[in-house]
Amino acid sequence: MTTEVTDSKASGEEKIWVFPFDELDKLEETVKPDSWEDVRSLLGGKGANLALMTKLGVPVPPGFTVTTEACNAYMEYDRNFPPGMWEQEVAAMHRLEKQTGKKFGDVENPLLVSCRSGAKFSMPGMMDTVLNLGLTDETARRMAELTGDPRFVYDSYRRLVQMFGSVVMGVPDEPFEAIIEETKEARGVKDDTELTAEDWREITERFKNLIPSYTDAEFPQDPYTQLKMATRAVFNSWFGKRAMDYRNATGISHDLGTAVNIVTMVFGNMGENSGTGVAFTRNPVNGVKELYGDYLVNAQGEDVVAGIRNTKPISQLGEEMPEVYAQFLEVCDKLEQHFRDMQDVEFTIEQGKLWMLQTRNGKRTARAAIKIAVDMVGEGLITKEEALMRVEPEQVDMLLHPHFSGSIKAQATQDGRRLVEKAVNASPGAAVGYAVFDADTAERWASEGKPVIMVRPETKPDDVHGMIASQGILTSRGGATSHAAVVARQFGTPAVCGAEELLINIDQRLFMIQTETEPIEVREGDWISIDGGTGEVFLGQLDTQEPDFDKEVELNTLLIWADEVRKLGVRANADYPQDAERARRYGAAGIGLCRTEHMFFEESRLPIVQSMIMATSKSRRVAALDQLLPMQRSDFEGLFRAMDGYPVIIRLLDPPLHEFLPSHDQLVTDLADLKVRLQHYHTLSEIDSALAEVREKEDILERVEALAESNPMLGMRGDRLGLIMPEISAMQVRAILEAAVNVKREGVDVKPEIMIPLAGHVNELKVLRELVEEVAAEVFEEAGTTVDYQYGSMIEVPRAALTADEMAQEAEFFSFGTNDLTQTTFAMSRDDAEPKFLITYVEEGILPSNPFQHLDRKGVGKLVQMAVDLGRETRPDLECGICGEHGGDPDSIEFCHLAGLDYVSCSPFRVPIARLAAAQVTIKHGG
């Protein structure tokens, strides 16, 4: 199916811009979509599902959809409706009048409609909605007479004026809310439901008078003007800031457009037998198979979603309206069975009759996503492969986020630091950060590297940029299906909602709470901690702890399924035995990169390393290396034990030697300070001691200056160190092979692989291979036994990739160091590029993404593919893997699968992510 914009005049036939809900079969005959995804692309998710629910016999108010194509055409026509669209919308309204027996704008029997957005992919709260279109002064007055319920009528009318003024005419929300709060205070009431018909009538008049003070226009009294302006506003909201921020954060394309859904109004604010709510067919927090949601009696939908009133749990509906609740349960089961996924539904009850206003696949936490996917396999709803594709790799990462231990929380409670014992546990996880009170501050502080928790009475769609930037979200109003809860769950952000104890003062940038002993005031910039899994809030910074991976039963089940499917191996980058043990628990099948230099930075070893660097002769250097040998050997023994039966790739020393010495600037500063202090010493011992320290610092400074390079990244490092100072490489090779021999004697199946860094010419590999073989012969002769080992090369400079056929003559395996390969291919230093220009490149579209986060397939990827192909021409059994940070990135993992690599290697914490991502690309592309 094609969805490009076409001009009806040019094509010779009228373009169809509008489709009624009850003509899904006709749409399929006319448009001939290739799949249901094409229908969703055309009608948006909301419109498509409303049409489908109508077809399934679910009670849906009559309505129609203006397509996403119309939105895109609207943008092409400089924000003007495309030819024929408005006429079709008016015709659809006339058809709606016949279906309902009401007339749009009629005084005696008025038809009222809502105007709702609906993109292909769910974007909860990010675009605009207007309810009760068609109400005017005259229709409101007459409806009040005819219904005998003026309170319901003027409550509905004020909602229209408020939403229209805010969404369509650009009036801020706050002045409207201030009028309501003033009225409630004057009447001495707490809740909106306590205001009378006369109160709402007066509020409506004040709302209408407010609008001209912010705009050059008045609230329109013509219903079709209302409809046209509302349709235009929904189209415009596709490119609103909050929608753009949301799509940027979730990777949704900006060219999809939004549909407009015009739906006959049904009213949940018509008394105690009416209501409205939002529910999920399973618990979106933990995935348990139970109905989960909120509702309000005598309210309209935005009251629930906006969090303006604290809600009732959906189970209570069974007590208040048992017949409606039973029907609702049947509908929810029917929808979940049809879509084979957990559904997020919106409903309204109008004087005892149930109406369904929306269904969509529900946003859920990482834990819920994994449990629901695994459970649905057990229920026979989906296959294992479908379950694997249902879970995003990053959701696995979210599930393994830190949490607060029970003892930490108990101590904080004992210290009087628990501010909130139990609010709505809206999105799980532990968050610690500075309290901030608006989205702009949250975004700004986060960009400065400060962890923040955004505190609001309730969040609104305009807050989404701050929510994305925050470590956690805390609100004093709203329930489990409020805007804050839904958005937080989608982004894996811990959230506590409906903490009614908090008295939040946005103007003064603080909140207050009365604890058991005293009132506590928390100002902007104070530390707070929240537990989104329990709904608790604490004062100050609580320590977090890592989750217990072994106890995540559903996750481990899913990952076992992933291992059965994937073709790519998954290894870990690990430098210490404890890292290797964690990697093994997380499912790593080996170590793809051990960076030996990290071991040298340990406090007990660094002085020895520095003495080796300061040595003025080879004999002194060897003496220092002899001290390091047993330490390195012990490290490698731990790695081999942890990876019993799996390969361990150990990279020889890579960084330039000056990195192990103090910085030049620091040494100069220290020397200057020492010489100043020397002038104040009086005793001989003080002077001698200071002079000795000066000489030591001067010696180090001299060595630092001797080692200094204009471009250290391309200087004396990697294999060049091993060639110029072979004793360094010889010590490391001996430590590796002696460790392998020792551990083999313990019965461990040891598989060492020795890797040369930064090689760009086959002769470098040839010379170093001779060194390795010479040391190996010595070790094996001394031990009286041998171990099998492999010798390979990192491929991290373009020349190595271009001459991979020659490199493979010496190397038995290739490991692509994509961090340095990206730097050398782009001729950019990551440390310099990211703060100075790379982020701008991505934001302005000069580069499609940060090449250090997602592998550059067209450039760096082409070199990788070339090296794999050339290398295997020389050595068909050449093992190829990747060990840069890209090894844990799902997009880069897809490339590795397509390029024919054998494995990816990443941080131990990203091993579960890589296991799932590798399975998904196998399902997507085949073996």
Residues 28, 24: Cα–Cα separation, whole Å: 6
- What burial class does residue 672 get, using C-beta atoms within 10 Å of its C-beta: 0-12 exposed, 13-18 middle, 19+ buried? exposed
Which candidate in 880, 883, 896, 906 is catalytic? Answer: 883
Q: Which amino acid is at 268?
A: G
Element (H, E) at 591: strand 591-595
Angle at 837 between CA 835 and CA 839, to 5 degrees: 70
Give the C-alpha distances (Å, rounded to integers) separating 658 from 595, 628, 705, 740, 794.
Answer: 17, 18, 9, 30, 22
Which candidate in 483, 658, 886, 897 is catalytic? Answer: 483
Asked whether 653 and 728 are in contact (CB, 8 A), the reply is yes
Beta carbons within 10 angstroms of residue 799's beta carbon: 14
Residues 143, 131: Cα–Cα separation, whole Å: 16
Scanning the structure block, which residue is given the tokens 């192909």? Answer: 869
Q: How many Cα atoms within 13 Å fall on the side-chain side of residue 866?
A: 17
Sequence-ordered list of residues with C-beta below 8 angstroms from that of 733, at least 6 positions apart, any chain: 652, 754, 771, 772, 775, 776
Q: Which amino acid is at 831?
A: D
Element (H, E) at 454: strand 452-456
Sequence-ordered list of residues with C-beta below 8 angstroms from that of 833, at least 6 positions apart, any chain: 826
Residues 117, 123: Cα–Cα separation, whole Å: 10
Instruction: Please confirm, yes or no, whether 883 is among the known catalytic residues.
Output: yes
Can you state the angle between helices 36-56 and 24-31, rounded to 10 degrees?
Answer: 160
Instruction: Please confirm, yes or no, whether 594 is among the known catalytic residues.
Output: no
Residues 440, 419: Cα–Cα separation, whole Å: 25
Residues 13, 529: Cα–Cα separation, whole Å: 61
Residue 787, SS3 per DSSP: coil
Scanning the structure block, which residue is given the tokens 């296959």? Answer: 383
Give the C-alpha distances (Å, rounded to integers) separating 89 from 93, 196, 228, 262, 835.
Answer: 6, 36, 9, 9, 50
Give the chain's end-to-end CA distance (angstroms, integer).
Answer: 29
Asked whether 56 and 338 are in contact (CB, 8 A), the reply is yes
From 224, 309, 220, select the one nearest 262 (Cα to Cα): 224
DSSP string across 655-700:
S-GGGGS--HHHHHHHHHHHHHHHTT--SHHHHHHHHHHHHHHHHH
DSSP string across 529-563:
EEETTTTEEEESPPP-B---GGG-HHHHHHHHHHH
Give the C-alpha distances (Å, rounded to integers) separating 505 from 50, 190, 289, 426, 516.
Answer: 41, 17, 39, 22, 21
Asked whether 403 and 518 are in contact (CB, 8 A), the reply is no
Residue 426, SS3 per DSSP: strand
Secondary structure letter of residue 710 according to DSSP: S
Q: Which residues belong to the active site?
A: 483, 883
